[in-house]
Each structure stands twice: as structure tokens, then as C-alpha cells.
Amino acid sequence: MPPKYRAAQTMRWKRSALISGAVLHARAVCTPMGAVTRTELDLISRIRPGRAITGMSAVLLPFTSAGDIDWPAVEAHIARTAQAGLTPAVNMDTGYVQLLDDAQKIRVLDVAAEVTGGRFVAGAYVADELGAAFDPSGYLAACDAITGRGGTPVVFPSYGLNALDDEGWVGALTTIGAGVDAFIGFELGAMFVPYGRIPSLDAYEGLMGIESCIGAKHSSLSRELEWDRLDLRDRVRPDFTVFTGNDLAIDMVMYGSDYLLGLSTFAPEAFAARDRMWATGDPEFHELNDLLQYLGSFTFRAPVPGYRHDAAIVFELRGWARSDRTPSEAPRRPDSDRAVLADVVERLARWEVVR
């Protein structure tokens, strides 16, 4: 069962400071609302130079000019992502999972399993509507489709799941966790989907208490909330992986996060090169990270889901797909984006040489 998590956050911080004696916790101060105030020295102490980074990359689903899924391009990009050293993440928001029918989602899983030999993660997505109840059987069926092909489920949010209070949310994920050997949780903000929600830190601690939950993707686009989760992870369950989903702060890997990003679908080889630089202490990490962050800041501007059209433009520019077509329901970017993206692709080329 998940640990009790009703105790006030302030008390947890005081207790952890006394037990661990860590300088970071000793300096941290809780405001009346429970938020943590950090100093610059606190953040510097979080930096983990030389750490091996685990990178997972959400795979864009390219379309032909006729509006069909470009299956050869899908297969090629899953392979490209894996060959770069990143774990492909399919049927995520980047792959339009909300717009796919069941047969298309299964075909994506089949392609991922064949290309990677089962070394992939995938969104366990349950379509529902506002006011719907949590659907445990639907989630377990989605997880079974993934695990049956060797993959690891990323439990996607839904109206039913995110309508639960914190205790109910943890209980629902505990139910899912009892049916699988391993899964990844997923906090997704409302800027990405209308049913998005970032649960409280207490609920996050409850999530960490689920043995089969090996980590969670955090997509609030807030450094502060992610630092809170890293601090909690370090003192409660150090083997738990915090996957940043913050495409506006991809340097969170410096502070101990790993990643599951949509941005990396634009340039998996460049992300892998950046990660190697961090692991080996190469200061060129910062120059490459700056360029990738520029790409993220540009493409993840409002409306945020428009980043997928920018990715489709990059795929076409690189020759990875035959068009920049997107589903009709997905927002598109202005034609002026193309010149900016072409410039970034050209500047990334020197880091994308196979090593």
C-alpha cells in the first residue's frame, strides 16, 4: 500500500532535514502555502556533473500529403531514435495518441516492438470525456497491449483519472500498478491537454510508494515543481526516476532529472551527443544544450501542441518524411517557422555526426 501522505509538507521537510542532515534540506524553507524557497547555493548543490543521463524520446507520427500515416517514416524514426541511444516512446502526445483509433495504436506498438526488440515505452491511453469515471479495466487493457510486446507503459492521464482527489489518484495508480511488473507515471499540465493536472507533492510521494512504479514523467513546465520532486525522490526513494517533460528547461538533467521529451524527436542524435558530453565532463555540453533549448523555446510556444507541426516541418526538411502534413485537429504553425527551423537544423549538423 502507498505510504500515508496526509502529513503537512512543512513537517516532512523538517523531519527530512533532521534525519538526513543534508545541507540542501537544512537551508530550504517552507512558505505557509507549502512551497519551498531555495537559494542559489541550494540549486548549485543539486548539480550532478558526470552523471549518465537516461533519455527517452517521444516519437512523432509523420503523415503523407494525402493525410495517411507515413508508416515507413514511423519505422525509420523509431529505429533512428534507438540507434542514437535513446529509448523510443510511442503513442504519446507527440504521436497524436488521442487522435488514433485502436488499430492504429496497435500497429504503432507492433512497429516499435519489431524495431526495438521490446526496448520501448508507450502511452497507456484511455479515451474518455469530461465527467467520466476512472476506467481501471481500460487502463489495464492498454497496459497489457504494451507489456505483451515487451514495452513499458506510461500511464497517460484522462478525465476520469485526473478528476479523482489526491488519495483517489494514488489509489487508482496502485490498482494499475498491481496489474503490471513496471510502469511510468505521468503528470501532464493543462497547457498540453484539457484534462491535464499536476497532483500535489503529497500525492507524488504516494506514487513513489507504488513498488511497480519505476519513475514518472513531469510535464508542468515548472522548474520549481520539478525540483520539489527531485528533493523528495532523493530522500524517500533514490531509485525512482524523475523524467523531465519540461521542453522549456531541458537542462534539468544537470540537477538529477532524466528525460522523456517531445523536443528530442526533432534531433535524437543531437540529444544523445549532449548527454554523452555531460557524462564525460565535456563543457561543449552547454553550447549544444543552448541551441537545443533555443529550438525548444521556439517550438513549444503557445499554443503548445503546435510543436508537433514544427516537428513535421523539421522531418520534411531533413528528408525524414515526405510532407509536413498533420491531422486536421492539430494546430499548425505559420510558414515563417520554416526558415527558423532550417537554420537550427543546419547549426545542429556538426553535432549529429555518428560517433
Establish if 29 belongs to a structural domain.
no
Average confidence score pLDDT of the chain: 90
**Among 213, 218, 288, which Cα is nearest to 256's?**
218
Q: For the domain that residue 330 is a member of, what is the CATH number? A: 3.20.20.70
When computed from its CA atoms, the radius of gyration of the chain, rounded to whole angstroms, is 20
Establish if 41 belongs to a structural domain.
no
Establish if 49 belongs to a structural domain.
no
Neighbours of 47 (CB within 10 A): 11
Backbone angles phi, psi at 243, to 5 degrees: -95, 110
For the chain, the domain total comes to: 1
Establish if 13 belongs to a structural domain.
no
pTM, full prediction = 0.88
Q: Rounded to whole angstroms, how far apart are CA atoms 155 and 158?
A: 9
Predicted pLDDT of residue 37: 78
> Coil, strand, or helix at residue 223?
helix
Establish if 15 belongs to a structural domain.
no
> Coil, strand, or helix at residue 243?
strand
Establish if 72 belongs to a structural domain.
yes
For residue 246, the enclosing domain spans 54-351
* pLDDT exceeds 90 at position 9: no
As a whole number, mean pLDDT of residues 16-44 equals: 51
pLDDT tier at 5, thresholds 50, 70, 90: very low
Establish if 47 belongs to a structural domain.
no
Query: Which pairs with CB-CB distance under 8 Å and at least 24 residues apart come from 294-300?
Result: 294/344, 295/263, 295/266, 295/267, 295/341, 295/344, 296/247, 296/248, 296/250, 296/263, 297/248, 298/337, 298/340, 298/341, 298/344, 299/247, 299/263, 299/266, 299/337, 299/341, 300/247, 300/248, 300/263
Establish if 27 belongs to a structural domain.
no
Neighbours of 9 (CB within 10 A): 19
Give pLDDT tens digits for 322-351.
999 999 999 999 999 999 999 999 999 999
